[in-house]
Structures are given as C-alpha cells and as structure tokens.
Structure 1
Amino acid sequence: MALLGAQLVITLVMISVIQKLGPHFSFARWLLCSTGLVRYLYPTDAELKQLASIPKDKLKAKKGGKGPQNGKPNVETFHVPRSLDVQLETAKVTRLDVIHLRYYTEYQWLVDFTVYTVIVYTVTEVYQTWFPLKDEVNLSMMWCTLVLLFSVKLLLSLTVQYFKGEESVGERSTCIVMGFTYLLISMVILIVDENTLELGLEDAYNSFNKSASAFLTKQGLNSSGPASKIVLKFFIALWCGILGALFTFPGLRVAKMHWDLLKYYRERKMIQILLNLNFALPFILIIFWIKPVARTYLTVRVFSGWTQPLLTPHGFETLRILAVVLAMCLKLVLMPSYLQAYLDMAYNRTQEQKKEAGRITNVEFQKKIAAVFYYLCVVTLQYVAPIIMCLILSFMYKTLGEYSWGGLFKEPPDPNECPLTPPNDKNTIDPFSSSESIAQSAAEFHLALENLKSVFSAEVFRGIFGFWTWWCCFVYFATTSVGLIYQSYFSTI
C-alpha cells in the first residue's frame, strides 16, 4: 500500500499544480509564443488601394445606400489585380494572438495534460525502482489512458469537420477511401506469421483465452473462451481502419510542412539530413517489429569476434521502447520549425498569386492570408496528437508489459526466485475478531480482483500495446509518405 499512497500523493500534488499554476505556466502556450514563430499580416484596404492605384473617393458608398445591418458596418469590396506586388508585414506570435484561435483551448489542454502525465509517470517509475509494485494499481496508467482518450477525441473532432459542409467533398472522400485502405492493410497484416512480424497478438490471445476460461470456470460458468480469434481480429482491423482515417490529414499536413522545409533549407545539407532522418524515423521503428531483420539480427546472430549476441531479448525490448520515445521527442523538438513552415504558407500564397492573371476582391485576398494563422492551432493539433499517442503508448507498453528501462544493461530478476507476494500471516482472517465479516468481505473482493487481474496478464498487455504502438508508427509513416509523394508529384508538374 505504500506505493499506492505515494501515487495518491503525486496525483493530488499534480491536480493542485494544474489548478494553481496551469493558468500562469503553460508549455503549450510556450511552444506557440516563445519559440520565435512569426506570422504574416494581411494588407489593409488602404494599402491595397494604394498599390492598385484606386482613388479613395471612388468606392465610397453612394448616398441613400444601405446602411449598417445587424449593428455591423458594410464591408467595402473592390477588385485588385492578382499580380499585385504586395509585401506582407510580419509580427511575432504572442499570447493575445493565439488565445482566440480555433481549437486553442483543446490544444493547450492536451499538451499541458500530457506534460503533467509524463511528470507523474516519471516520478512513479523512479519511486517504483526502490519500492516495486506489488498488488497496487499503477495510477500513472490511468493518466496515460486519459491522454489517449483526449488525443483520439480531438483527432475525431478534427476529422468530423471534413464531413460538414458542401465544400469538403474531396476531404470526405479521402478519409473514407484511406479508412477502407487501412482496413484492408490491417487485415493482411493480421494474418502474417508471428515469426515474420512479431506483433504479439497470438501470445496475447492464447494467454487471454486461457486465463478468461479459468476465471469463468471459477465463477461457475462453463466456457471454452470469451471470443473467437477471427472475431477479435475483425474488430482490431476495424479499429485500425478508424485510426488510419484519423491519421490521414495529420499525415498529409506534416508531409506538406516537411516538403516546404526541405525547399527552404535546400542550401543547408546538414539540416536537410536531420529533417529527412526525422521523417524516416517511424519507418525505422516499424522495422524493429520485423523479426528476421531486427530481433534475429540483434539477439540471435553472433558476430565474428563476439561470444554472444549484441543484445538479450529483454534488452531488445528496452531498445525498441527507447527508440519510440527518442523518435517522438525529436519530432517535438522540431515542432516549431514545422509550424513556421506552415505559417510561411501565407507568403507562398502571395508569391504564387503574383503569377496568376485576372482580378481578386480585397476580402478574398485578405482571407487567404488571415486563414493561415486562423487555423494554426488546428494544424498544431494535427502535428502533435499522433506524436503524443505514440509516446504514451510506448510508456504503457513498457509498464503494463513489465519491461524495465535498464534492460540494456541487466536482466530483470527471476520472479520464481523473488516472489512478489511472500506468505504473510497478517492476511489471515482472525475468526474471533469483531470485524470478521468486513475482513472476510474484503478478502473475497481482493481475491476476485486478483482473479480478474490474472485475465489481463503481461502477455495480454504486451500484445495489445505492442501492436497499437507499431500500428500508430506504421500509419504515421504511411500517411506522411503518401503526402510527400503527392507533394513531389504536383511540384514536378
């Protein structure tokens, strides 16, 4: 109970921090307002008239015209050449600029709550190093679960926006097609042999089926298993298709920003190498789950001059988790650069418009510039939500899968040599105690809880979160790759 008490203290402290310091210190706000992001200001009507050589008195409202409607003055509309040489002014992004943006509250809550979750998880892991977890519930996993729910909810809400209105027919079709495409791909992946792609689902199903059957038998119910393998894999594939649809436009957006960054740094090869490495890291993570390429090469093969493989099986699992964490941290570090590439779209739009013929209204021209900054938090959510999901899933994969961060240097202790629950006479109920009925009820509840926990063993969690982590990395790389191919194709044309 000592660890549970310490976790409760940590949780209460973090809740107090959220209430007291959250409004004043925000990591999410710091990412937008203190990393040097620059936005572009749209030209005013007076500046457009001056550049287009339009007399100011020519467009004044005629006498007897319509006055203000609903308390709002009429917007003056006039046409200017598309090839107008407009020089956009810049300004640093400040707190007052972003506080009114769409989805800013959701973005701030997701990022800040993720930071609090990482702190809780880190403190719990450090504390657990000296006081190992026995029968207590790891409260940090509840924090991680909330982060996953928030991330999926926000990605779902962003995707739903593409299904509203009549102007987003192409976006709706893209989401639906990509969802069914990933559904088909996941069905193919789920039938791949575990000796080739070690997702851990077979071991998880066998462990869950065996434990669930034993649990149902203890409850007096005859059952050979809770569900068939085909049914479970169908629902897993369905969830994979939904995740693929949710990751579609975030991946396309990241690919567009990555392509713009490569063009901006075309003369700086080292930065291009770093950007391409950052882009290819999810593919490297995918390879870690291909057994002949990764596990067999690192844990079975003995190189010349060595007496044993490079890594132990447990060390390989630790390396795989650390690789996911480091890859996601690198993406977070490069996040301001990608956001600046998005903000530079306003400048790029004006440069492309100068090559076009015809005329455009002042309102349309100003909206084209202002819309880029208006959707900054939407783009930020699309960038950061998949990264947060992969990071939190790796934490849950490590903890619930009963791995250790030091697996690269030492093997975990044998549970047979150091039993987690040694015999203790204090657990025996005293029949002469006045609280016999309460103690007996508590013991029965504890026994039922332990039986239920045995159904979800470490093998089950390894299969669930190992596959979920791998699939998120796979979908992230697949969607960004499709977006990069799209950008390269149309830029060539």
Structure 2
Amino acid sequence: MALLGAQLVITLVMISVIQKLGPHFSFARWLLCSTGLIRYLYPTDAELRQLASIPKDKAKAKKGAKTQANGKASAETFHVPRSLDVQLETAKVTRLDVIHLRYYTEYQWLVDFTVYAVVVYVITEVYQTWFPLKDEVNLSMMWCALVLLFSVKLLLSLTVQYFKGEESVGERSTCIVMGFIYLLIAMVILIVDENTLELGLENAYNSFNQSASAFLTKQGLNSSGPASKIVLKFFLALWCGILGSLLTFPGLRVAKMHWDLLKYFRERKLVQILLNLSFALPFILVIFWIKPVARTYLTVRVFSGMSHPLLTPHAFETLRIVSIVLTVGIRLVLMPWYLQAYLDMAYNRTQEQKKEAGRITNIEFQKKIAAVFYYLCVVTLQYVIPIIMCLILSFMYKTLGEYTWSGLFREPPDPNECPITPPSQSSSIDPFSSSESIAQSAAEFHLALENLKSVFSAEVFRGLLGFSTWWCCFVYFATTSVGLIYQTYFSAI
C-alpha cells in the first residue's frame, strides 16, 4: 500500500528548491523589476522653490517661525501654485525600490508560492499520465488549497484596511453594499434550473447526501442526510456574497487601469482590440456554463454537412478548463501594461492639477506623487489574486472532478461507469514486520481515507469546484464591468 509514493518525493524536492532558489530568484520580483516598469519621482523642495520663484531665505524664515510657534522642529512647508508646470523625472523600478513597499512581502510570497504550486501540479499531472494514482493522496491539491487560503487571507487583509480609519467611509460602504448585492445575485442563481445554468450542484448534493447517509448508516447512526439543500445553498450564497465583496475593489482597480490603457493606445486600434478581448474573456468563460448557449450548441447540435456535434461532452469540459488557463496566461502577459498604466497616474495627477486654481503645499504635492508608487504592490495584488484564484480553482476542478487534459483529442472513460472496488477488508500487515501496530494504524487510515473518498466523490467535487470556478470568473467580470461603466459614464476623467 502506497499512501504518498513518488508525490512525497516531488513535494520534498520542491521544498528544497524553495529553500535554495527562493533567496536568489523570485518570479514576483522579476515581474516588478525586470519588465520595464517606469516610476515617477516627486520634485524636491529645491526644485519646487525654483519653479515657483520662492526665495530660499523666505522659506527658511517661515520654517523658523513655525518651529518657534510649535516649540519643536518641523518639516519645511511652503505653498506653490497648483498650476505650476512641473516635469516629473522618471526612473526604472528596481529591487531596492520595491523591497520597502507596503505588502511587498505578502505579494512576493503569494506569487512565488503559486509558481511552485503550479510546478508541483504540472509534474504530478505528467507523472500520473504514465502512473495513474490509485491509493495515493494527490498532494498537488494540498498545494493548490494552500494557494487559495493565502489568496483569501490577503483579500481579507486588503479589505480590512477599508474598515480602519474615518477617511475610508466610502470604500467601506461600497464593500458592504456590493456584498449584499452579490449575496442576492447568488441566491437567485442558486435557484436557476440546471437545464439553463449547469452548475452541477443538484447532482453534487444528491451524491453527497446518498453517500453520507450510507456512511452514517454503516457507522450505526440513523440519518436521512447531513443537511438540507436549502441550508447548504444559503451558506453557499453567503460565501458567494463575501467573495464578491472581497473582489469588488480589485475589479474596480483593474477597470481603472484598463480605461487608462485604452486612452493611452487610442491611436493603435489593434492594441485596443487585444485589450478589449482580454477584458471580455472572463465573460466568455461565464457563458461556458450556460447550457443552451454553450453545451447544447457545441455537444448536442449537429450542423449541416456534419454527422456528429462539434465536441464530445468530455472535450467540452476540457475546453472549459483550457480556456481558463489561456485567459489567465493572457492576463499575466498583459500585466506589465496594466501596472505601467497605474504608475502613470502620478503623471496624470500633475496634468490634472495644472488645470486647477489655488495653491498647494509642497508636502501635499510630493505625497500625491509618491503615494502612487507606494501602493504599487497593493495594486499588483489586486490584479493577480483574482486570476490566481480562477487558475487554481480550475486545476482543482479538473483533478478532483476526474477530467482529463486529453479530452479534446479522445474520449476518456467515464469514471461514473467504472466499477468501484470496495476497500479491501483483508489485513495488509506484513507478518514478518516488527511494527504490527504501525501497519495496523496505516491500514485503518487507508480504510478511513477510502470511506471519505466515497462520501466526497468526483460528482461532489464537480459541483462544488465547478460552481466556485464559475462564480469567481463571474464576479471578476462583473466587478470589472461595473468599474468600466463608472469610468465611462460617471468619472470626470
């Protein structure tokens, strides 16, 4: 009996790689420092005084008067016209610049760990192509689960910041309102018939209820099921509302960067088409779960001149997963453009300020420019976390749902039609072993694992992970669409 086998070796090797390679190479750091990002430097006090024609002695006199009034030293403060023609200097983003930014450590850990988890997943998938996993635990799913936990934790950490301080009342209200809106949307979606929106939750509930009832009966407990369908759907809708609230500001941020990119490339139509296509890809993913539009059209309808549909059911499932992976790849390739659009906000702010009347202090002017770069890692997290969640959920949906990557090329056997071999009741203890108690414990763990697998079957995972994948894609598109609508019709920019 092999509980882990070669997968344990893969995991241990990857842990060693993290320890040895991590301090020297970071994919997250490469994305920020080696993709040509340009940041804007705020003007110094001397440059502002020169542009505003403020004598240095006068500024010193004001500083001395303020120091005497407060009884302590303070930063030199003076006023300059808002319409001051300031030309911001630029510099490439380097490693020394980003290591002190807020949330840089969290960003680096999440992205790098995601890369390692994807590598473990790919190696495991290749390994089980030739050596199918039978009695082994798929450790790559544990890596994927950890990535999801880290992503949700960081989303919570970012959202909590809006509930601290009195200056974030608007953001706080937006999170709460959007959370209730997505809760309502989720409750409506969960009552839609499966023939229209094939989420797979009905089959998942029936499979789980029957398996759990059989398991409880086997343990001597009388039960008709672990929970009612309404209760389970309510908690599922509650989680959907929370996730929608957490993804609200990441979606709005991506929409703002997308809008700025469209304005920057207004003369390059092909680039605009590429950007709009990448923006609409999550919507195409959402359509894949609408049965009359996607499955019926591709797997049931027979077009004229053809003897069979375009795709088989398994090929259609594989197409869903491959489409998500390709979408994530495209968004990752375009990531430097989006981040540069965010960094260009510093330049845009100075241009907008030139149109304003009145005066502004040097400290406020410098903070307005410096804050853009200071929150670069926060914005990067808001960009990458949604696509990471979509990617990891699609991996788990494929593996735990027992689909195949080769579904587009051949029809794999249906796991539901394969005979299920009940767990062996015979003793697997080596009679020559000197540790019978350890072997007995291993046999009991194996039996418990088999019972647990019978409860959480592939049908259950297809429903839960399929719905989770679809909802993540839906919320991602919905929030970015709301942000783009706001930029188009309500923004003054």
- Relative to the length of structure 2, the TM-score reads 0.95
Query: Partner of 1:4: helix, strand, or coil?
Result: coil
8 A Cα contact 1:134 1:420, kept in partner: no
Q: Which amino acid aligns with 1:38?
A: I
Give yes or no for the alignment of 1:185 onto 2:185. Answer: yes
Query: Partner of 2:407: helix, strand, or coil?
Result: coil
Q: Which amino acid aligns with 1:51?
A: L
CA distance in 2, matches of 1:165, 1:300: 56
Q: Which amino acid aligns with 2:487?
A: Q
8 A Cα contact 1:314 1:408, kept in partner: yes
Q: Which amino acid aligns with 2:212?
A: A
Q: Which amino acid aligns with 1:14?
A: M
Equivalence for 1:145: 145
Equivalence for 1:239: 239
1:445 deviates by 3.6
Q: 1:397 to 1:63 in 2, by over 3 A?
A: closer
Give yes or no for the alignment of 1:87 onto 2:87. Answer: yes
Q: 1:438 to 1:3 in 2, by over 3 A?
A: closer
Q: List aligned pairs for 1:20-31, cutoff 5 A.
A: 20-31=20-31
1:4 deviates by 2.4
Equivalence for 1:365: 365
1:441 deviates by 4.9
1:294 deviates by 0.2
Equivalence for 1:66: 67
Equivalence for 1:167: 167
Q: 1:56 to 1:9 in 2, by over 3 A?
A: same
1:448 deviates by 2.6
CA distance in 2, matches of 1:486, 1:437: 66
Q: 1:300 to 1:418 in 2, by over 3 A?
A: closer
CA distance in 2, matches of 1:18, 1:353: 46
CA distance in 2, matches of 1:368, 1:452: 56
CA distance in 1, matches of 2:23, 2:227: 47
RMSD after superposition = 2.3
Equivalence for 1:262: 262
Where in structure 2 are there 5+ consecutive unaligned residues? Answer: none
Deviations 1:348-393 (A, max 9, x none): 0000000000000000000000000000000000000011000000
Equivalence for 2:374: 374
CA distance in 1, matches of 2:91, 2:7: 45
8 A Cα contact 1:265 1:272, kept in partner: yes
1:412 deviates by 1.3
The range that moved more, 447-456 or 311-320, is 447-456
1:64 deviates by 8.1
Deviations 1:49-77 (A, max 9, x none): 1111111111114768738999x952100
1:88 deviates by 0.4
Equivalence for 1:450: 450
The range that moved more, 200-209 or 421-430, is 421-430
Equivalence for 2:406: 406
CA distance in 1, matches of 2:427, 2:40: 68
CA distance in 2, matches of 1:370, 1:30: 22
CA distance in 1, matches of 2:75, 2:437: 78
Deviations 1:311-330 (A, max 9, x none): 11011000001011110111
Equivalence for 1:356: 356
CA distance in 1, matches of 2:60, 2:416: 89
Equivalence for 1:118: 118
Q: List aligned pairs for 1:91-490, cutoff 5 A.
A: 91-413=91-413, 439-490=439-490
- Percent identity of equivalent pairs: 88
Deviations 1:249-285 (A, max 9, x none): 0000000000000000000011000000000000000
Query: Partner of 1:220: helix, strand, or coil?
Result: coil
Equivalence for 2:8: 8
CA distance in 2, matches of 1:90, 1:416: 60
CA distance in 1, matches of 2:414, 2:257: 48
Query: Partner of 2:112: helix, strand, or coil?
Result: helix
CA distance in 2, matches of 1:267, 1:364: 34
1:446 deviates by 2.4
Q: Which amino acid aligns with 1:253?
A: R
1:420 deviates by 7.7
Q: 1:402 to 1:416 in 2, by over 3 A?
A: closer
Where in structure 1 are there 5+ consecutive unaligned residues? Answer: none
Figure out how many residues of one structure are paired with residues of the other and give that number: 492
Deviations 1:184-235 (A, max 9, x none): 0000000000000000000000000000000000100000000000000000
1:413 deviates by 3.0
The range that moved more, 399-408 or 413-422, is 413-422
Q: 1:98 to 1:185 in 2, by over 3 A?
A: same
8 A Cα contact 1:83 1:354, kept in partner: yes
8 A Cα contact 1:68 1:74, kept in partner: no
Q: Which amino acid aligns with 2:146?
A: L
Q: 1:416 to 1:276 in 2, by over 3 A?
A: closer
